[in-house]
Amino acid sequence: MNAAPLAVAGNGERRALRFLAELSQALAESLDLRATLEMAVTRIADFMQAEAASLFLLDHAGLIECRICVGPVDITGLRLGVGQGVVGRCVAENATQIVRDARDDSRVNVRVDAETGFVTRSILCAPLSNARGPIGALEVINRRDGSLFDEDDAEILRLVAAPAALAIGNAQLAHGLVEQQRIKRELDLARRMQKSMLPRRRRGDFPIRGVNLPAHEISGDFYDFFDLPDGRLAFVIGDVSGKGLDAAFLMVRVASMLRWVGARAPAPGAWLGEVNAELCRSVQDGRFVCAAVGQYDRASGQVRMASAGFPPALLHAGSEFEEIPADGPPLGILAEADYGEREIALGQRALYLFSDGATDVRTGATDRLGEAGMRGLIARHAGLAPEPRLRALLGDLKRLRLVDDTTLLLVQESCGAQAHTLMDLEFPAQAVQMRSMRAALRHALDAQGVAPELRDQLVLAVDEACTNVIRHAYGGECSRRIALHVARERDMLAFELRDRAPAVDPACLKARDLSECRPGGLGLPFIAATMDAWKLEPAADGQGNVLRMHKRIEGGEPE
């Protein structure tokens, strides 16, 4: 049969081909796989003139289970090991099996017959397989006319098995995708719920600010701050050991406990002690939580805080760093742990608390940023006001490789240093506008006492940023606008470039390696080499992009 050309195919073969075509069509169009397979198995039984037919699928446990069965005896749910019986052997060998006379064949499993009274005379079994191997088997039993199955029947069953396997494979794939999307949606929901637990940023000169950057969908880190009845401000930062959903759930619990206990304004040591005792009672799976808590009195400038195994906090002013170590072990380990506390005269200094995700950031293949690196970053952005400084720190950490959830909390009074505008310019997105923009910028930078070499480099970086907007964001010269704002706050220059172009994906901007010599793509490397920090973001109003670049200058004094 397999070599018979269609033109001379006999009656039986023509019938087989028509059946195969119809069956393939039905399986391909199937939306409800189960119903379609039931129909298919019934039609296969009829076509093969078989008394019974069944479809087996391999499950996750490596067993072969009868999923669909037509005939006098229902064996749906019957499970066999690979290699066991005719079906098991068919799957094990990924080859069609013919049992001409079941009474005289060692492959035949006689148990079912013994239990049901059914008499198995002749069996055909074809594997269902895809590119990766067998996924199950299709079995027909006993010809209705009492004759035995032959090689032609085996060939037909083998052909029929192919579209069935394809349909099952597609359905399993679709099911997998749906499942993946469901999990993603739920993780997304969990992430949003977690995020909603973090306190809202307070506007104005509120002295406590936090940021949280989960390494994955969900975070084991948290921070919190809230007002106490006596006017003081309470703050909390924590890091739950481990990653993933269970860490996230524990984080939610611990965060609520810390808030609940902290609302009564206990001394920080007692605050940690109470939460620790409760955690030790209720968490026994080896998880623990590093946390620091404190209260800040704005009137006196005093901070009282305590730390349970949290990484050392840093007090920073000028070139001075002071390290504040932990006062006791992490929460959830020792029920009788005692937590000391300390009093800090904050004054105008900045108090940084950061989870170990910040210091664990990778600066090379294996090198960690470490505490020294963190100090370096803090010193580098010290000229910025607290809010942009926290953003700049986060930007730096993001640009390095984040391996863990990262959370920063900053307690500091705004010291009143005001950024003052050096230049505000708006012009159409045309290359001919660049020359006057450069002249104005040179003039503004000269007035700030910026050395000529650095001035020229800054002008180049801003020019490149503008031409990138013209060429890439706007897609060519046009009459739409570019706005350039340059400001200075102490020794930090801030350049802000706004456009009204469609949002640019910041992820697709990457400064190329300068060691290879080729004509294009030099703009971004110029910007990266010149500025201390730069970041492209969609504009807050959703229209256009904002490129922010920062450069610390030394020696120069504002006019």
Partner 1 sequence: MSEAENICVSEDLGGYVLVRVCGEVDLSWSQQVRDAILAALGRCDGVGVELAQVTYIDSSGIAALVEGFQTARGQGRRFGLIAASRQVLAVLQLARLDKVFPLFADLDAARDA
Q: Least distance (Å) from partner 1 to the CB of residue 519?
A: 4
Which residues partner with 226 through β-bridges? 234
Which residue lies nearer to partner 1 by CB, 159 or 459? 459
Q: Is 515 in the site for partner 1 (CB under 8 A)?
A: yes
Please pick, from the candidates 265, 387, 467, 537, the single residue that binds partner 1 as defined by CB under 8 A. 467
The residue with tokens 């704002």 is 485
333 vs 536 by CB, closer to partner 1? 536
Question: What's the angle, vertex CA 538, arms to CA 397 and CA 522, rounded to 5?
Answer: 70
Give whichever of 140 and 459 is closer to partner 1, judged by the CB atom.
459
From 156-164, 302-310, 368-376, 437-445, span contacting partner 1 (CB under 8 A): 437-445
What are the residues facing 445 on neighbouring strands?
Answer: none
At a CB cut-off of 8 Å and minimum separation 6, what does 387 contact? 209
Q: Does 453 bind partner 1 (CB under 8 A)?
A: yes
**Residue 311, amino acid:** P
Segment interacting with partner 1 (CB under 8 A) among 27-35, 66-74, 111-119, 438-446: 438-446
For partner 1, the binding residue among 158, 259, 438, 480 (CB under 8 A) is 438
- Which stretch, 76-84, 327-335, 355-363, 517-525, contacts partner 1 (CB under 8 A)? 517-525
Specify the stretch interacting with partner 1 by CB under 8 A; choose among 141-149, 363-371, 436-444, 545-553.
436-444
Nearer to partner 1, 82 or 522 (CB): 522
Nearer to partner 1, 165 or 429 (CB): 429
Sole binder of partner 1 in the list 242, 370, 525, 538 (CB under 8 A): 525
Indicate the residue among 382 and 522 with the shorter CB distance to partner 1: 522
Query: Minimum distance from CB of 524 to partner 1 (Å)?
Result: 9
- Identity of the residue, 39 or 511, whose beta carbon is nearer to partner 1 in the bound complex: 511
CA dihedral 32, 38, 39, 43 (to 10 degrees): 150
Instruction: Tally the residues of the chain.
Output: 559
User: Residue 161 or residue 440: which is nearer to partner 1 going by CB?
Assistant: 440
Binding residue (CB under 8 A) for partner 1 from 215, 523, 544, 548: 523
The minimum distance between CB 396 and partner 1, in angstroms, equals 22
The correct pick among 173, 335, 415, 439 for binding partner 1 (CB under 8 A) is: 439
Q: Nearest CA to 75 among 65, 90, 83, 84?
A: 65
- Region from 20-28, 194-202, 334-342, 511-519 binding partner 1, contact rule CB under 8 A: 511-519
478 lies in the binding site for partner 1 (CB under 8 A): no
Which residues are CB-neighbours of 429 under 8 A, at least 6 positions away? 469, 470, 474, 477, 478, 479, 480, 481, 482, 499
**Angle between the N-to-C axes of helices 245-262 and 268-282, in degrees from 0 to 180, rounded to the nearest 10:** 140
526 binds partner 1 (CB under 8 A): yes
Q: 220 or 523, CB closer to partner 1?
A: 523
Verify binding: residue 463, partner 1, rule CB under 8 A. Answer: yes
Q: Report if residue 519 touches partner 1, rule: CB under 8 A.
A: yes
Stretch that binds partner 1, among 103-111, 138-146, 196-204, 522-530 (CB under 8 A): 522-530
Count of residues that interact with partner 1, criterion CB under 8 A: 30
- 278 within 8 A of 260, measured Cβ to Cβ: no
Q: Is 416 helix (H, G, I), strand (E, B) or coil?
A: coil
CB of 461 to partner 1, least distance (A): 9
Is 520 a residue that touches partner 1 (CB under 8 A)? yes
Q: In what order do the strands lie in the sheet with 208-213?
A: 208-213, 406-411, 350-354, 313-317, 320-324
Can residue 460 be called a binding residue for partner 1 (CB under 8 A)? yes
User: What residues contact residue 185 under an 8 Å CB cut-off, 6+ apart?
Assistant: none
For residue 131, the SS3 value is coil
**What are the C-alpha distances in Å from 318 to residues 139, 265, 392?**
82, 32, 18
What is the spatial order of strands in the sheet that 302-308 belongs to?
Answer: 221-227, 233-240, 289-297, 302-308, 342-345
529 binds partner 1 (CB under 8 A): yes
459 binds partner 1 (CB under 8 A): yes
Work out how close the CB of 444 gets to partner 1 at its nearest, in angstroms, rounded to a whole number.
13
Count of Cβ atoms closer than 10 Å to residue 146 Cβ: 9
| 536: helix, strand or coil | strand
CA–CA gap between residue 38 and residue 35 (Å, rounded): 5
Report, in Å, the least distance between residue 540 CB and partner 1.
29
Is 511 a binding residue for partner 1 by CB under 8 A? The answer is: no
What is the SS3 string spanning 282-324? Answer: HCCCCCCEEEEEEEEECCCCEEEEEEEECCCEEEEECCEEEEE
Q: What angle do CA 11, 17, 23 make, to 5 degrees?
A: 135
* Binding-site ranges for partner 1 (CB under 8 A): 430-432, 434-435, 438-439, 442, 453, 456-457, 459-460, 463-464, 467, 470-471, 514-515, 517-520, 522-523, 525-526, 529-530
